[in-house]
Structure 1
Amino acid sequence: MSRNISLLSGKKDDKNSLFGKISVSPNDTSDAQLAGEYNLGVSTIHSTKSFYDFLNEDFKNKKAYVCTGSACMCRGTQEDVTQKLKNKLGEDSVGEMICLGRCYENSAFYYDGENYSGDDINQLDNILAGKHKSLPYTMKSYSETSFLVENEVFSSFEDFKELLQNCFETDKDELINTLKDSGLRGRGGAGFPTGMKWEFCKAQEAKAKYVVCNADEGDPGAYSDRYLLEEQALKVLFGMVVCGYIIGSKQGFMYIRGEYPESIDITNEALAKLRELGLLGENILGSGFDFDMNVVEGQGAYICGEETALIASIEGRRAEVDVRPPFPVVEGLYKKPTVVNNVESLAAVAAILKNGSKSYKSIGNGRSLGTKLISLDGFFNNPGLYEVDLGTSLEFIIDEIGGGFNADIKAIQIGGPLGGIVPVDKLKSLKLDFEVFAEAGFLLGHASFVCIPKSFSAVEYAKHLFAFTAHESCGKCFPCRLGSTRGKEMLGSAIDNNQKFSEELIYDLLETMEVGSLCALGGGLPLAIKNLLEHCSDEFKPLMEK
C-alpha cells in the first residue's frame, strides 16, 4: 500500500509535496478533495494527519509552546516559563514543543511564528505587542581554515553564481572525485562518504532523480543546522544545486523542522532571490541544466530525521521507517533514485569545491576529516555555536572555547538523545573524532553538548530518554515502540513508587531494542542508557532488586 501512495504522489505532482498540501488542508471536505486529486482514499489523508503532533487540533489551539528539550529540562528553567505564559495567555493556552534550538540560554518558548529564550520570558508585553526581538548568540570558528562559519570564501549570490559556473565547466566525475578525495562524510550521524553517495546515485538509470536536504534537526541540544539555514543558507542551497547537477536531478526538497520558523522564512527568501537571479529554474546560466527546489515544513515528528521516514513524509505517508535495502540512492523519493544529505554535509561542499580537497582533508585524522560544528548549552560559561577541527581535544573545547562550566556537572550527553553520555572524569581524555568516540563506547553524532548537572538524577534522565523515544517512535517495529514504553514505565515505577526493577531485565530490554529495532531511534537509545547504568551505577543500584 505504501508503495502505491509513493507512486501516486509522484505521478500527480513531483514538485510540490503532498505532505505540504495535507498540512494546510483545513477540514474533512478539503481532505476528501485532496484524496480525490491523488486517487487516494480519504482514510490515507486522515491517517497521515493523525501521525504528526502539530496537526493535532488540540495542539493547534494553543497560543504558545514551551520547549521540553533535554538542555532546557536539565537547566530547570521551563516550569517558570510555563507559568508566566499561562498567567499571561490563559491556563489552557500553552502547549509543548521538543527543542527550539535555543539551548545556549534555555528558557525557550515559541509564540506567533517566532522562538524566544533567555530573558525574553520577562518581555512578554513587548513580545505580544510585536516590539521585541531576541539577542544574537555566539557564532565563531576556531579552525584555521573555516568551511562553515565564514563569510569570505563563499557568502554572496555572486559567489554562488561564480562557483556554479565553474562547476558547469568541470567534468562531473572530477567534481565527485574532489568530494571523495576530501573525505567529507555525512554529518547527520551515519557518516557515509558524501562523494560516494552522489556517485552511486549518478550511476543509476532513471527518468527522474531527486535531491533531499534533511534539515529536520530534532536532536535536543543541537542547533548547528539552524545556524546554517539562518546565517549560511547559500552554502546549503549551493550544495543542493550542484548535487542535482552531478546526479542528473531536476527537483530538490528542503525538509525543515517546523520548530525553526525563522529558518523556513530565511530559506524561502533565499530561494526566491536565486530564482530571480536565474540561479534556479530552467536553463541555469545557459547550461541547459534545469533545477528547482521547495521547502517542506515538518510538523513535529523527530523520526523524520531518519531518511526513509523523511521520504515517506514528503510523499504524504505516515512517517514510518522503511526496511533497507534498497537504499534511497537506488529507490528513494517517489521510488526514484534520491540523494538525502544532512545540512552540514551540504554546506561544506562549496568551500571544498572552491579551495580544493586538500584544504579539507588536511584537517583531522584517519576517517574523521575536516571541520565540525559543535553546540554548547547554557551550562558553559561561553555557550554558543562553534566550528572546530575534527581531532580537537574535548579539554580544549570545554576549557578554552566553552570557558568551563558555570555549575557542577556529572556528565554530558554528546550527539543528541541517541548519543553517548560521557561522565565528567572521562571528558578530557577524548578528542572530537567519530572513531575515537566509538572506540570509547560513546557516539559523536551531531556534536551537541547537553550538560547533566550533579543535582539532576541520572535515573530521571534515563526515564526522560525512554519517554522521548516512546513519544517519537513511528510505531512500526515492536522493539522500539514497546521497549521504550516498558523502559519508561519501569523507571517511572521505581522513582514514584519505589518498585524495584531487575538489572537483568533492563539489560535484556536494551538488547532487544538494540538488535531488533528497524532504525537508530530504538537501536541507538540503549547506548545512552547503558552509559548511565555503568557510570552512574550508585544512583541506579538502590532501585534494583538485590
Structure 2
Amino acid sequence: MSDNLSELLGRKGIQENLFDKMGKLAVPDGSPSDEALAQLAEEFLIGKANTFGTATFYDFLKPENKGKKVYVCNGTACVCAGTQEKVIEKLTNTFSKEEIGHMTCLGRCHENAAFHYDGKNYSGDAINQLNNIVEGSEKINKDAYRVAATGPAILTRDFTNITAYYQPFLDALKKDSAAVLEEIKTSNLRGRGGAGFPMGMKLEFCRKVENKVKFIICNADEGDPGAYSDRYLLEQQPHAVLFGMLISGYATHAAYGIVYIRAEYPESVAIVQQAIDQLRAHGLIGENIGVSGFNFDFKIIQAQGSYICGEETALINSIEGQRPEVRVRPPYPAQKGLFNKPTVVNNVETLAALHFIITEGGQAWKNIGTERSSGTKLVCLDSFFNNPGMYEVEMGTPLSVVVNELGGGFKAPVKALQIGGPLGGLVPVEKIKDLTVDFESFSKQGFLLGHASVVSVPEDYPIMKFIEHLFDFASYESCGKCFPCRLGTKRGQELSEKALTSEYKIDRALFNDLLTTLEEGSLCAHGGGIPLPVRNALQYFDDELKQYFN
C-alpha cells in the first residue's frame, strides 16, 4: 500500500470519488473506455497504470464485461439446487452466449434460478416470463420470503416513522459521546460479518486516535452465497443501518459515513439512497445535527463485483479507487484506514443492532443470548427447506430448532449444510443436533458461524465436486496479493478437477500440505479460511472421497 497514493486519492474528498466515477463511466458499455481511464488518472494526479489496474480487477469494470446484457447467478446455493443450467438454456433463446455473464450471489437463495437483467434481479419462476422482462415489466423482479423471529423481534421489528425512530439518536446527542460508547461496550455486541470481534472495542480504538477526519464504513458487500440478511436490512430496514452509522460516528467523532453496497444488490442502492434523502429532509444529517455540534453525512459507493471486498482492508482500497488487495496489518483501519484516516468498518447487521442498544440500553442486549455471544442473530435458509426464509433467533438457539422447526425440515434429502459462506464449515446433518447458534458452539465443534447463511448440499451432489467448486470460487475471487492464496487455491481447484475427470489420485500428504500452507501463509481469511470446509469434508465424508485419494 502506498501512503502517498492514498493521500492523492483522498485529495478531493469522498464526494468526488475515483471508484464511484469509474462505476458510472462503465454503465453505458459495461466497462470504462481507455480514454476515460486516462482522463481520470490525470484528474486524480495518479498514473494511468493505477486506473487501468483497478478497472481490470472487477467483474463489472473489466474490458471482458463489454457487451454483457444478462448475468446468471453462480452462487453455491443456486449451483447445489441445480437450477442454473436451465436458466442459461432459456436465456440463450434471447441472448447470444457472448451477452451472458455471471454474478455471485444475487441473494435469491430462497428460490434460486436467479439472474440479473437491466439493473434488476430475478429468480424463481421469472425465467419463464423472460419475454415480459425484456419488454420492461416492472413487477416480475419482486421476491418474497418468510421473515420471522422466535424470541424478541429486534432486527425484524416493524419500522415506525422517522420522528419516533430517530428520537433515541437525538437523545444520545445530548449525552457525552463516551457514555454512548460505554453502552455499546456493555452490550458485548460482536461483529456479525463473520469474525465476531467486539464492536465497542473497534469504536474505542478509533475514538482514541486524534484526527480531524474519520470515517464510518458500512460493509454491505454481502458476498457469501446463501446469505441475504444484509439485503433484507438494506431493503426493508434501511433506517436501522443508517441509525447505527450515525451513533458510530458520534461515538468516534467521525463525520463521514460510507455505505459500500455490492453491485449484485441494485435495488438496495436505490432504497438506501431514498432513506438518506428522508434523513436530510428531516434535518437528521448534515451540519450541527439537533443543535448538538455533531456533523455527519453519507455517501453510497456501489461495488463492482468482487468477493474479496468483503474483507475490510480490501474494501478500503476499493473505495479509494485502488485494486482491492488486502493490506498488511498493523496498522489497523481504526488507526490508519481510508485515505490514511482512522476508519471503522462494520457489517450491516452489526450496525442495525445499535438502535435497540441505544434505545433499551447495552445491558438489555447483553441479557439476550449467551454469556459470550449476546443478542440475536439473523439466519438465512435456502430453497431446500420447506420454509425457506430469514429468521431472527436468540444466540444459543439449538441449530436443530432452526432446521426442523423454523425451516420445517428439508424438501429433499440433504447430507450437509455449509454455514457461514464459502469459508464456513461444512456441517454433516448428523452434527446438527450438537450445535447451537453462537460463535463458541461452532468453533468448539470445528465449524464457523460466520454470517449464518445456510446452504444445503443434497445427497446426490458429490462432495468432491463441492470441494472443486469451493476452490474454483476462492481462486477466482482471490485478490492475488499473497502467493499462498493466489497459487494455493488454483492448485486445489486443479487437483480436484483432475481427480473428478480422470483416474488421477490425489496424494493425501500433498493435499494436507496445501491446506496447511493456505491456513498459515495467507494474508487474510480468504485463503486462510477456505481449508476449513475442505477439512470438514475430508473428516466427515471420507467414505465418499477416498476413491479420489491415495
Q: TM-score, normalised by structure 1?
A: 0.97
Task: Pick the aligned partner of 1:68 from 68, 71, 74.
Answer: 74
- Determine the C-alpha separation between the residues in 2 that align with 1:138 and 1:81: 21
CA drift of 1:190 comes to: 1.1
Task: Pick the aligned partner of 1:55 from 57, 61, 70.
Answer: 61
- Determine the C-alpha separation between the residues in 2 that align with 1:257 and 1:501: 37
Alignment of 1:130-529 (within 5 A): 130-131=136-137, 132-151=139-158, 155-529=160-534
- Determine the C-alpha separation between the residues in 2 that align with 1:427 and 1:161: 40
Greater Cα offset, 286-295 or 252-261: 286-295
Describe the shift of the 1:27–1:309 C-alpha distance in structure 2 as closer, same or farther (beyond 3 A): same
Greater Cα offset, 315-324 or 157-166: 157-166
Q: Secondary structure at the match of 1:364?
A: coil
Could you tell me which amino acid in structure 1 is paired with residue 70 of structure 2? A
CA drift of 1:269 comes to: 1.1
Equivalent residue pairs, number? 543
- Determine the C-alpha separation between the residues in 2 that align with 1:57 and 1:30: 13
Question: What is aligned with 1:127?
Answer: 133
Report if aligned partners of 1:475, 1:481 keep a CA contact under 8 Å in 2.
yes
- Determine the C-alpha separation between the residues in 2 that align with 1:345 and 1:143: 19
Greater Cα offset, 165-174 or 95-104: 165-174
CA drift of 1:455 comes to: 0.3
Report if aligned partners of 2:146, 2:388 keep a CA contact under 8 Å in 1.
no
Question: What is aligned with 1:5?
Answer: 5
- Determine the C-alpha separation between the residues in 2 that align with 1:288 and 1:308: 31
State the superposition RMSD in angstroms.
1.2
Question: What is aligned with 1:21?
Answer: 21
Do residues 31 (structure 1) and 37 (structure 2) align? Answer: yes
- Determine the C-alpha separation between the residues in 2 that align with 1:440 and 1:450: 18
- Determine the C-alpha separation between the residues in 2 that align with 1:42 and 1:528: 40
Report if aligned partners of 1:201, 1:247 keep a CA contact under 8 Å in 2.
yes
Q: Secondary structure at the match of 1:283?
A: strand
Gaps of 5+ in 2: 26-31
Q: Secondary structure at the match of 1:508?
A: helix
Could you tell me which amino acid in structure 2 is paired with residue 141 of structure 1? A
Report if aligned partners of 1:2, 1:317 keep a CA contact under 8 Å in 2.
no
Question: What is aligned with 2:29?
Answer: none
Report if aligned partners of 2:150, 2:391 keep a CA contact under 8 Å in 1.
no
Q: TM-score, normalised by structure 2?
A: 0.97
- Determine the C-alpha separation between the residues in 2 that align with 1:332 and 1:274: 27
Report if aligned partners of 2:166, 2:243 keep a CA contact under 8 Å in 1.
no
CA drift of 1:432 comes to: 0.5
Q: Secondary structure at the match of 2:97?
A: coil
Task: Pick the aligned partner of 1:110 from 103, 110, 116.
Answer: 116
Gaps of 5+ in 1: none
CA drift of 1:539 comes to: 1.9
- Determine the C-alpha separation between the residues in 2 that align with 1:190 and 1:478: 23
Residues 22-46 of structure 1 deviation map (CA, whole Å, 9 limit, x = unaligned): 2233322222222122110111100
CA drift of 1:137 comes to: 2.3
Report if aligned partners of 1:218, 1:302 keep a CA contact under 8 Å in 2.
yes
Report if aligned partners of 1:86, 1:92 keep a CA contact under 8 Å in 2.
no
Report if aligned partners of 1:67, 1:78 keep a CA contact under 8 Å in 2.
yes
CA drift of 1:16 comes to: 3.6
- Determine the C-alpha separation between the residues in 1 that align with 2:88 and 2:412: 23
- Determine the C-alpha separation between the residues in 1 that align with 2:323 and 2:393: 37
CA drift of 1:533 comes to: 0.7
CA drift of 1:135 comes to: 4.8
Q: Secondary structure at the match of 1:149?
A: coil
Q: Secondary structure at the match of 1:422?
A: strand
